[in-house]
């Protein structure tokens, strides 16, 4: 048996709108087969997005996207 030294990071994501939180560690994986190696893969595993400097959960990101589409299409015009 040999010696194995590994560096493990903890990635904590918190939504800037609703406060939803998710935590993953280096080496964690999901059913889709993606493994956490760095910050970007951790963000994908947690299903968080960055938009205009904010960190958003998937639900808040989709809400913001729908609102943006409504504004651009003229939905709110009188």
Is the pLDDT assigned to residue 1 strictly greater than 80?
A: no
Tokens representing residue 73 in the block: 């299409």
CA–CA separation, 10 vs 40, rounded Å?
13
Residue 26 makes CB contacts below 8 A (sequence gap 6+) with 6, 7, 8, 9, 36, 37
pLDDT digits (tens, 9 = 90+) for 4-58: 777 889 999 999 999 999 999 998 887 778 899 999 999 999 999 998 899 999 9
Q: What is the mean pLDDT of residues 52-75?
A: 91
Burial label, 45 (beta-carbon count in 10 A; 0-12, 13-18, 19+): buried
Tokens representing residue 6 in the block: 């590994």
Is the pLDDT assigned to residue 78 strictly greater than 70?
A: no
């Amino acid at each position: 048996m040999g010696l194995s030294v590994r560096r493990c990071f903890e990635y904590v994501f918190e939504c800037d709108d609703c406060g939803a939180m998710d935590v993953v560690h280096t080496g964690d994986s999901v059913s889709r087969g993606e493994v956490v190696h760095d910050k970007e893969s951790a963000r994908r595993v947690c299903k968080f997005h960055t938009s205009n400097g904010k960190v958003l959960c998937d639900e808040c990101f989709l809400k913001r996207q729908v609102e943006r589409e409504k504004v651009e299409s003229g939905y709110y015009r009188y």
